[in-house]
Amino acid sequence: MANAATSGVLDREFLPLRARLIDLAAALDRIDRASGLPAADPRREQIAHGLAVLNSPEPNRAEAVLAAFSLPYDPEWRAKTPRG
């Protein structure tokens, strides 16, 4: 199903996207300024992966960012899920 207002998408999205990018940049700056954060926190890798997805020319970036923040699925989970 096509977006009904295709010609206006960039007009509509430009300012909100600009604002979100600045928010994102400011949050990253805030993390950099904070002292005492462990350098090896795995969440930093997830953030870096998410940012790389944003800069990718591939489609379905929202799905790819969600995948970057998701635990892997193992089709053999029935045999491997530990009993509580």
Q: Are 38 and 31 in contact (CB under 8 A)?
A: no
Q: Are 31 and 20 in contact (CB under 8 A)?
A: no
**Closer to other proteins at the Cβ: 4 or 39?**
4
Least CB distance from residue 70 to other proteins, whole Å?
4
CA distances from 27 to 8, 34, 35, 80, 84 (A): 29, 11, 14, 38, 38
Least CB distance from residue 35 to other proteins, whole Å?
26
Q: Are 37 and 31 in contact (CB under 8 A)?
A: yes
**Closer to other proteins at the Cβ: 36 or 73?**
73
**Closer to other proteins at the Cβ: 36 or 72?**
72
* Contact set with other proteins (CB under 8 A): 1-5, 8, 12, 60, 62-63, 66-67, 69-75, 77-78, 81-84
